[in-house]
Amino acid sequence: MFRARREDIRAAFERDPAARSAWEVVTCYPGLHAIWMYRLANFFWRNRLRLICRLVSHVARWLTGIEIHPGATIGRRFFIDHGMGIVIGETAAIADDVTLYHGVTLGGTTWQHEKRHPTLESGVIVGAGAKVLGPISIGEQSSIGANSVVLKDVPAQSTVIGIPGTVVGTTESLIEDGKINLDHHLMPNPVAEALKHVLQMVDDVNARVDTFHPDASGKESEADDQISDDMKKEHEKLERFLGGGGI
């Protein structure tokens, strides 16, 4: 128990540059208080003391503004930064070294008593206001951009942004020198990328019109074949983007 608490305090120093002292973290970090009260509520949940665990969870929500269902599964070194407005559902599963920012929802999508909330694998970071909905899996070391709405599985080491969430890159530099990478503003623009491909397709159409006539042998020119290949590639990229697969 004491080892887990020391790990939680150390995680705050590793992921929040504003942390100054252990006493500050212990007394002034609502995310830490919510995690510790969740662990107490989860103990009662596992021992089928359902009313008591829900009361503990309710008090934690009132004190911290963070709602964690006592039935959720949470690993080690879980860190909540700021935390106000976070909701973690009953069947959510969170692995080790996960970080959530304020306003995050790990929500369910069915009335059935089954796995209906997301699974966050180790090292995942979820930005402020993001919504991760349904029994999906977010691969390890992935980053979810602020205010994204994620509805599909995300591969490991991926960057996801947008509504609905789209994979737009990788996260090789998510952890630097043992500390979290806080360059959240360095995100690609998937809409701009999609428009770039549309404009490329328009250019290819115009070029194809210019070379529409067959050559003297009655065969299409090599340039026309190249333009057709380019258009096919741009179509495939747009279809992948519109399907949520990223550019």
- pLDDT tens digits for 99-114? 999 999 999 988 888 8
Predicted local distance difference test score (pLDDT) of residue 176: 59
Report the alpha-carbon distance of residue 240 to residue 100 in Å, rounded.
Answer: 28
Q: What is the mean pLDDT of residues 86-98?
A: 94
- pLDDT tens digits for 189-241? 667 677 777 777 777 777 777 666 655 555 555 666 676 777 777 777 766 66
Element (H, E) at 167: strand 166-170
Q: Which of 68-77, 98-107, 174-183, 227-236 has the lowest mean pLDDT?
A: 174-183
Q: Which of 58-72, 91-105, 197-211 has the lowest mean pLDDT?
A: 197-211
Predicted local distance difference test score (pLDDT) of residue 118: 96
DSSP 210: H
Element (H, E) at 140: none
- pLDDT tens digits for 123-170? 899 999 999 999 999 999 999 999 999 999 999 988 898 888 888 877
Residue located via tokens 């995690």: 35
Report the alpha-carbon distance of residue 181 to residue 187 in Å, rounded.
Answer: 13
Q: What is the mean pLDDT of residues 11-15?
A: 87
Q: Are 72 and 86 in contact (CB under 8 A)?
A: no
- pLDDT tens digits for 20-29? 899 999 999 9
Predicted local distance difference test score (pLDDT) of residue 147: 92
**Whether the bond into 17 is cis, omega within 30 of 0:** no
Query: Has residue 51 got a pLDDT over 90?
Result: yes
Q: Which of 83-87, 95-99, 123-127, 171-175 has the lowest mean pLDDT?
A: 171-175
Give SS3 for 132. strand
Q: Are strands 158-161 and 166-170 parallel, antiparallel or unpaired?
A: antiparallel
Predicted local distance difference test score (pLDDT) of residue 139: 92
CB-count burial class (<10 Å; 0-12, 13-18, 19+) for 233: middle
Report the alpha-carbon distance of residue 193 to residue 197 in Å, rounded.
Answer: 7
